[in-house]
Amino acid sequence: MLELPIVETVEQRKKRPDWLRVKLPIGESYKKVRTLVDEYKLHTICQSGNCPNMGECWGAGTATFMILGNTCTRSCSFCAVKTGRPTEYDEDEPRRVAEAIFLMQVKHAVITSVNRDELKDRGAEIWYQTIRAVKEISPNTTIETLIPDTKSNWEALERMISAGQEVVSHNMETVQNLYRKVRPQAKYERSLEQIQRIKNYGKRTKSGIMVGLGETHEEVFQIMDDLLEHGCDVLTIGQYLQPTKMHLEVASFVHPDTFAMYKEVGLNKGFPYVESGPLVRSSYHAERHV
């Protein structure tokens, strides 16, 4: 019988534990990635999202590129990307992203974007052109796209995912009970439907959630079931970390044993691949999921 890990005390929840220490960004590979990102005037979710793994990933010569600017039309209470009405729509961005990926000699590229709800096509054309540009200049590079919620614009979704990428990810972010608090402009069932449509299109599907927001074990098990029912192949589970004092507070720091338990449960339920750990993010070790 599966033994559930002990829940942390209030005192333990307030202090960031030792297992959440991250590597400082240093080394020649880090400098090279930083130089290319700056030179080609690109955005990365590593920077905009205050990702704790930036030092490790950039030090290994990899980065997750963020297209369509760095201003999001959503105001999710967990995310460090700035919110507002975007002004940037750069038709030359696909070329610059593709050239940077080529120069970095990336074997597996991860590309994401902000939400662009004000655009009729949700930014789908820039998505399509970016993937095609990468495939043309780096035909041996595999691509994972972490796409936003298209608000049921299924024509836009098809355009986003039809350019030849190998993996398509759409993050659920949290359990159903916390959606209004964490993702106020999103809908749980709509995101599940989007994942199902991606699967139906023939793509390898992926989604990620954060824990430490006040969810229960049972709610995590339920979202696993819901994702499997809607065709999700890969699941990532990581610790929520408060990016600024303006964002949601951490409800608990989840122990590594609990992450190990979640991985075991996910694999037993039928996920082909589960990445679960305190510092796991949706693009962390993404090359292993192809």
**Residue range 154-185, pLDDT digits in tens:** 999 999 999 999 999 999 999 999 999 999 99
| pLDDT > 90? residue 269 | yes
> What's the pLDDT score for residue 67?
92
Query: How much is the pLDDT for 61?
Result: 47
Question: According to CATH, what is the number of the domain 10-289?
Answer: 3.20.20.70
**Who has greater pLDDT, 50 or 243?**
243
pLDDT at residue 118 tops 60: yes
**pTM for this model (two decimals):** 0.85
Longest Cα–Cα distance in the chain:
56
- Work out the pLDDT band at 105, boundaries 50, 70, 90: confident
Mean pLDDT of the chain: 85
So what's the pLDDT on residue 80?
A: 79
- Rounded to an integer, the average pLDDT of 48-62 is 50
For residue 252, the model assigns a pLDDT of: 95
Please report which confidence band the pLDDT of residue 1 belongs to, taking 50, 70 and 90 as the band edges: very low
Lowest mean pLDDT segment, chosen from 32-36, 55-59, 261-265: 55-59
Q: Do 47 and 54 contact (CB within 8 A), yes or no?
A: yes
Structure confidence at residue 48 (pLDDT): 43
Average pLDDT, integer, range 79-104: 88
Residue-wise pLDDT tens digits, 13-54: 557 888 777 665 555 655 666 666 666 555 554 444 445 555
Q: What is the pLDDT of residue 206?
A: 97
- The structural domains of the chain, with segments of one domain joined by +, span 10-289
- 5-20 residue pLDDT tens: 544 444 445 578 887 7
Q: Give the pLDDT confidence of 179-216 residue by residue, as tens digits.
A: 999 999 999 999 999 999 999 999 999 999 999 999 99
Phi/psi for 108 (5° steps) reads: -135, 115
274-284 confidence digits (pLDDT tens): 999 998 887 76
Q: In b/e form, how buried is each residue of 192-227, taking b as 16+ CB within 10 angstroms?
A: bebbbbbbeeebbbbbbbbbbbbbebebbeebbebb
Collapsed DSSP state (helix, strand, coil) of residue 21 = coil
Contacts of 234 (CB under 8 A, 6+ apart): 167, 169, 204, 205, 206, 207, 271, 272, 273, 274, 275, 289
Which pLDDT value is given to residue 181?
95
To the nearest whole percent, how much of the chain has pLDDT over 70? 79
Query: What's the rounded Cα separation, in Å, for the pair 290 and 277?
Result: 19
CB distance 252 to 259 below 8 Å: no
For the segment 108-121, the average pLDDT, to the nearest whole number, is 93
Per-residue confidence band for 151, with pLDDT thresholds at 50, 70 and 90: very high
**In the prediction, which pLDDT does 37 show?**
61
